[in-house]
Amino acid sequence: MRSLCTIAVWFLLVLPASVGRADPTVEVLLSLKADGMNEGDRLQNSSYCLAAGRQARENGKFGIALDLFTKCLELNSEETRAHLEKGLLFGDERVVLRTRAISELLFFLAADPTDIHARTELGGQYMRLGRIAEAEEQFKMAVARDPGDPYPLGMYGILLIDFTDKVQKGVELERAAIAGIPDEPWFRMNLAWGYVLLGRYAEARAAAAAAITAIRKSDWGQPAVDEMNQLLRSIEGK
pLDDT at residue number 34 = 86
Question: Which residues, other chains included, contact 11 with Cβ-Cβ below 8 Å and sequence gap of 6+?
Answer: 23, 48, 51
Name residue 167's amino acid.
V
pLDDT at residue number 220 = 85
Using a pLDDT cut of 70, give the percent of the chain over it. 90
Picking from 4, 109, 120, the residue whose alpha carbon sits closest to that of residue 55 is: 4
**CA–CA separation, 47 and 43 (whole Å):** 6
Q: pTM for the full model?
A: 0.82
Cα–Cα distances in angstroms (integers) from residue 30 to residues 37, 67, 139, 182, 188, in the given order:
14, 7, 36, 41, 42
Looking at residues 31-52, what average pLDDT do you find?
91
- pLDDT tens readout for residues 101-148: 999 999 999 999 999 999 999 999 999 999 999 999 999 999 999 999
DSSP output for 161-202: HHHSS-HHHHHHHHHHHHHH-TT-HHHHHHHHHHHHHHT-HH
Confidence of residue 225 (pLDDT cuts 50, 70, 90): very high
Q: Is the pLDDT of residue 26 over 50?
A: yes
- pLDDT tens readout for residues 158-192: 999 999 999 999 999 999 999 999 999 999 999 99
